[in-house]
Amino acid sequence: MLKNVSMVTKIVAGFVILLVILCGIAVIGYNSLSNSNDGFSAYRNLARDTNLAGRIQANILKARLNVKDFIATSDDDDIKQVNKWVNTIKEFVKEGEKEILNSKRAAMIVEISKKIIEYDDSFNNVFKLKNECESLTKEILNVKGAEIVKKLEDILLASEKDKDFAIYSDVANAIKNFLLVRLSANKFFKSNYKEDLDSSNVSLLHFKERLDEVGKELKTSEGLRIYSDIVASMEEYKKTFSVISANQLKFMDIIENTLNKLGPEIAD
């Protein structure tokens, strides 16, 4: 049968078959190239997103380290560094919101945006509370503490001059107790532990007992006047210490339950 087919027909048929094969190869090649481009684009996006995530992780780690240093030293440089790292993260988040195409990763960047704002606000609250604590300590607690010791020493010198050894002993014990009050307060300010606060409050109670004993022994109008001044200074001291201790517990709660929680969440 093939003998009856002309040579021209055979050539044309062969040419048609060749064209079909070439078209098939072209289609397969196009699809492969298209898939390759899509794969490369996906890889490039993943690499970019991973790099962005790494930069966010690095900066939140730096911020957390500076927060820790600030709590220990109250150094203004640490505040500047925390703000620097947080603002850098915010810029990375803005970049991510524009460039990340993957829906899952885009949702994660939105969540990071919310958390870094909360982190920033929380640190600012810690800074304000700690700054207030330090101002109250310097301007009131230390001043009133020095006044109380000075006035007790005045009573001590007067009792020594009058050879009133009974009250001399009571005043000496009161001074000793008040020094313990200040030591325990400083310990709490450094540690921020509730146990140290409780110990400081116990020291305050013991000092009040010693001070009451001094008041019962005083007989001169001058001695009673000085004693009245001590009581007034002590009330202000206690009131201020109460505010400071409450503020310290607040900012430690923010650190432990907000900053220390958000930091790892942002990094993850």
Residues 19, 169: Cα–Cα separation, whole Å: 118
Total number of domains constituting the chain: 1
Residue 120 lies in a domain: no
Identify the H or E element spanning 218.
none
10-residue block means of pLDDT along the chain (268 residues)? 51 54 52 48 61 80 87 85 88 81 79 88 92 94 95 86 77 92 92 90 93 88 90 96 95 91 84
What local confidence, expressed as pLDDT, does residue 141 receive?
A: 95
Residue 162 lies in a domain: yes
Query: Can you give the pTM of this predicted structure?
Result: 0.74
Residue 2 lies in a domain: no
Residue 84 lies in a domain: no
**What does the block give as tokens for 82?**
């925390």
Domain that holds residue 170: 129-260
- CATH classification of the domain holding 221: 1.20.1440.210
Residue 169 lies in a domain: yes
Residue 207 lies in a domain: yes
What local confidence, expressed as pLDDT, does residue 64 receive?
A: 87
What local confidence, expressed as pLDDT, does residue 197 receive?
A: 93
Residue 21 lies in a domain: no
CB 175 within 8 A of CB 152: yes
Pick from 134, 143, 130, 155: nearest CA to 236: 143
Residue 8 lies in a domain: no
